[in-house]
Amino acid sequence: MLQYYIPLVGYPYAGHPSDCPVCSSSHHSAISRFDRRLKQLSTVLCDDCGLMFTNPMPTELELAVYYRTQYRLDYQFSLGKPGQRHVRKKMREAVQRHAVLAPYLGGRKVRMLDFGCGSGELVRQFALEGHSATGLEPGSGYAQHAVDLAPTAGTFRIDNAPWQTVAYPAASFELVTMLHVLEHLPQPVAALAAVHRWLTPGGLLHVEVPNMQGYDLKGFERFHFAHVIGFSRDNLIHAARLAGFSLLAEKSPTSLVFTKLGGESCAAIIDLKGTARRNRAEYSEPITALRYLMHHARRLTRRLLSR
Ligand SMILES: [Zn+2]
């Protein structure tokens, strides 16, 4: 498993050649050979929608092995659970995220699902606010931490399973959140289509992913083995539309609120070919060793100062 951490060598996976996981185009070209750990990782850019994705694409099983290894390093070396500071930060974030979505609920108490709930802080926050809150999380370690957060009041449930295996009946939820989840999924449109089925007519979906556009260091620094897909605004909207969603509001270019059914209330014009051109131009600018090191020095300083 050390192979995950040695720079300049590839990850221990075989994967399979993939067409674009959003628009299904077979036209793509190489954009990067390395990731942010300076490990070999082949990322391509779709010529038709500008999506970036790992190719060969790891299989679900290979990703599961990776997460298990990550989990050990991230948690077992830190006394088996997330640090207090991490939990406090996530709790504050959950309060803010609830506040962002509350205006769309108009005071109603809803059934909500946090798809990929991690350690469960947002599920807990919705339960505390009186909603019926469910978290879906494939990682057993994270799911256990989430269960441990169960509030004494409110309806709170954590389902520890991969999304493909859960059988929520149609129209089970009025609200689904997918926050920094979709970039981890090799089949994002299928996952969005499942969410579409699980939502009630008029139900809401809040999706947020890292934005690949306009990033300071545009080279390999943006790539990460766990992030098999790199979205930008237009191809994220396209993915959601393919699954049947309409755009309701833009919180940021890649933090979007969608609805099931109904006309789009904000005029979302997307330009997929233009996105492909812009992304290619942004990522063709090579990253220098000095910029890379400076970037990490700043990150490290910020992290130390925030302790
Ligand atoms: Zn595409």
Q: How far is the CA of 26 from the centre of ligand 1 (A)?
A: 8
Q: How far is the CA of 135 from the centre of ligand 1 (A)?
A: 30
Q: What is the mean pLDDT of residues 27-50?
A: 90
Q: How far is the CA of 60 from the centre of ligand 1 (A)?
A: 20
Q: Is the pLDDT of residue 265 over 90?
A: no
Tell whether 45 is covered by a domain: yes
CA distance 168 to 156: 16
Q: How far is the CA of 4 from the centre of ligand 1 (A)?
A: 28
Tell whether 107 is covered by a domain: no
% of the chain with per-residue pLDDT over 70: 91
Tell whether 159 is covered by a domain: no
pLDDT digits (tens, 9 = 90+) for 84-117: 777 889 999 999 999 999 999 999 999 999 999 9
Q: How far is the CA of 27 from the centre of ligand 1 (A)?
A: 8
Q: What is the DSSP letter of 253?
A: T
Q: How far is the CA of 181 from the centre of ligand 1 (A)?
A: 19
Tell whether 188 is covered by a domain: yes
Would you mind telling me the total number of residues written for the chain in this entry? 307
Picking from 1-15, 121-135, 241-255, which range would have the lowest pLDDT averaged per residue? 1-15
Q: How far is the CA of 70 from the centre of ligand 1 (A)?
A: 29
Picking from 8-12, 63-67, 96-100, 259-263, which range would have the lowest pLDDT averaged per residue? 259-263
Q: Which helix (H) or strand (E) holds 155?
A: strand 155-159
pLDDT, mean over the chain: 88
Tell whether 26 is covered by a domain: yes
Q: How far is the CA of 158 from the centre of ligand 1 (A)?
A: 34
User: Who wins on pLDDT, 115 or 298?
Assistant: 115
Q: What range does the domain containing 286 cover?
A: 2-80+168-305
Picking from 23-27, 130-134, 274-278, 301-305, which range would have the lowest pLDDT averaged per residue? 301-305
Residue 266 has a pLDDT of 59
Q: What is the DSSP letter of 83?
A: -
Q: How far is the CA of 39 from the centre of ligand 1 (A)?
A: 25
- CA 101 → CA 13, 110, 174, 211, 256, distances in Å? 39, 12, 12, 20, 11
The answer to whether 45 and 279 are in contact (CB under 8 A) is: yes
Rg over CA atoms, the chain:
19
Tell whether 241 is covered by a domain: yes
Confidence of residue 16 (pLDDT cuts 50, 70, 90): very high
How many domains, the chain?
Answer: 1
DSSP letters spanning 184-199: G-S-HHHHHHHHHHHE
pLDDT digits (tens, 9 = 90+) for 120-172: 999 999 999 999 999 999 988 888 889 988 887 778 999 999 999 999 999 99
pLDDT digits (tens, 9 = 90+) for 199-212: 999 999 999 999 99
Q: What is the mean pLDDT of residues 217-233?
A: 83
Tell whether 176 is covered by a domain: yes
Strand order in the sheet with 173-179: 155-159, 132-136, 111-115, 173-179, 199-208, 255-260, 245-252
The answer to whether 124 and 151 are in contact (CB under 8 A) is: yes
Q: Is the pLDDT of residue 79 over 60?
A: no
Tell whether 156 is covered by a domain: no
